[in-house]
Amino acid sequence: MTEAQFDLPDGWQDQSVQILAAGPPDTAPEFSFVVSRQPIPAGKDLDAFVTGEMELLKGALSRFRLLRRVDTTLDGVPAVEAEFTWSREGQPVQQHQTYLFYRRIALTLTASALLGNFPRYNGDLQRLLASFELER
């Protein structure tokens, strides 16, 4: 991790979450970029995994609306991008998620902002994704 390193006991899995935020200091973030990890579910390919995640989000998020879902690559690895909106406490939120399987981990990269703020940070998001390099 950024602040330290340590040895994990055998059998432990990295299921950490990293949260990066943009916006004026000492205020609630206007834009966030979250990287989450989980083991790849047994027997699921990337498409089935993303379909399951979309169903979970649809059931959990108020006014969920899928804007687009496309196959892509991230650092040469097959990936799926999904953009959607939903409502949090009456505020419309937009999210962009990129899903990929790498080694034995399902990575989900999630960019979030209030709907009105999202376009302002789209360039930053595209630069983040274009610069994303997997450990080889």
Question: For residue 66, which phi and psi values (nearest 5 degrees)?
Answer: -75, 125
Parent domain of 121:
31-131
Round to whole Å and give the CA distance between 103 and 120: 33
What is the per-residue burial (b if ≥16 Cβ within 10 Å, else e) of 83-92? bbbbeeeeee
What pLDDT does 18 receive?
78
Helix (H) or strand (E) holding 71, with range, is: strand 62-74
Domain total in the chain: 1
Q: What is the pLDDT of residues 74-88, one digit of tens each?
A: 999 999 999 999 999
Can you tell me which residue has the tokens 């609306």? 65
Chain length of the chain: 136
Q: Model's pTM, two decimal places? A: 0.86
Q: What CATH number does residue 82 fall under?
A: 3.40.1000.10
The answer to the question of residue 81 being in a domain is yes
